[in-house]
Amino acid sequence: MALTQVSSNKCAGGFQKVFEHDSTELKCKMKFAVFLPPKAETGKCPVFYWLSGLTCTEQNFITKAGSQLAAAEHGIIIVAPDTSPRGCSIEGEDETWDFGTGAGFYVDATQDPWKTNYRMYSYVTEELPKLINSNFPTDPDRMSISGHSMGGHGALICALKNPGKYKAVSAFAPICNPMQCPWGQKAFSGYLGPDRSAWEAYDATVLAGSYSGPQLDILIDQGRDDQFLSASQLLPDNLISVCSEKKIPVVFRLQPGYDHSYFFIYSFMNDHIKHHAKYLNA
């Protein structure tokens, strides 16, 4: 599959690049960012996938998270895709900030008019890794996943739905129980329809309750002053309770004074990359 390089910048001894390609899953042109550490010039590297939150593109993470120095140190390739299809000319796709463009929610939509293009789950778990592994010096057996907010939800469900596929998972302020919060209910109703049983396939709290794969050590950071925590959009306690019952190891860190922004992500990014490196480089 042909890739078009959009940009390339020397960074942390490696290169921060952005590419565009025609997606077969999403039926549109998609961009993704990839950081290639110095080690990628001489050998294969593990891959850390980052899923961004509502309204974001591939640019937010690479310009604000400060991930490149730690990724260079640990020899990890970082891939950050966009958050939704774009320019699909679907009626209503640009009406609100939390549904449609910039808000793919990492599900495979089943409802018209979204089901043709809005297949971010399959894009992230199948199409994109194949594309990355065929074009960059990766070790396909060593990949992990992380994300923020809507992307934290995406990272958790990808790991829980695919036991053993990802060596590690972490999240910043994830939407942990979307079936029970306004953001999730809006997105799932639109993309998946009114049958709530169909929503369970994309809810981390529900998925954790039935998880039976290899041990998955989860790291979650949450800002205590996050406005969306107080607005009951994120609901981390629900996930932690289920993981405790199922004996799924979770390190949950409630960080005093931090909000939902990339200033929060930047502050703890190194910890997350170290968490992933422990499993990716084992």
Average pLDDT, rounded, for the chain: 97
Q: DSSP string covering 217-245, please?
A: -EEEEEETT-HHHHTTSS-HHHHHHHHHH
From 74, 153, 260, 275, active-site residue: 260
260 catalytic? Reply is yes
- CATH (domain of 230): 3.40.50.1820
Q: How far apart are CA 197 and CA 149, in angstroms?
A: 23
How many separate domains does the chain show? 1
Q: Which residue, 148, 159, 160, is CA-closest to 228? A: 148
Structure pTM?
Answer: 0.98
From 226, 272, 275, 276, active-site residue: 226
226 catalytic? Reply is yes
Tell me the per-residue pLDDT of 122-158, one tens digit each, with 9 for 90 and over.
999 999 999 999 999 999 999 999 999 999 999 999 9
- pLDDT reported for residue 179: 98
Q: What is the mean pLDDT of residues 194-203?
A: 98
Q: Is the pLDDT of residue 167 over 90?
A: yes
- pLDDT reported for residue 282: 73
Tell me the per-residue pLDDT of 9-35, one tens digit each, with 9 for 90 and over.
999 999 999 999 999 999 999 999 999
Tell me the per-residue pLDDT of 36-45, one tens digit each, with 9 for 90 and over.
999 999 999 9
149 catalytic? Reply is yes
Q: How far apart are CA 220 and CA 240, in angstroms?
A: 10
From 149, 153, 170, 276, active-site residue: 149
235: containing domain: 4-281
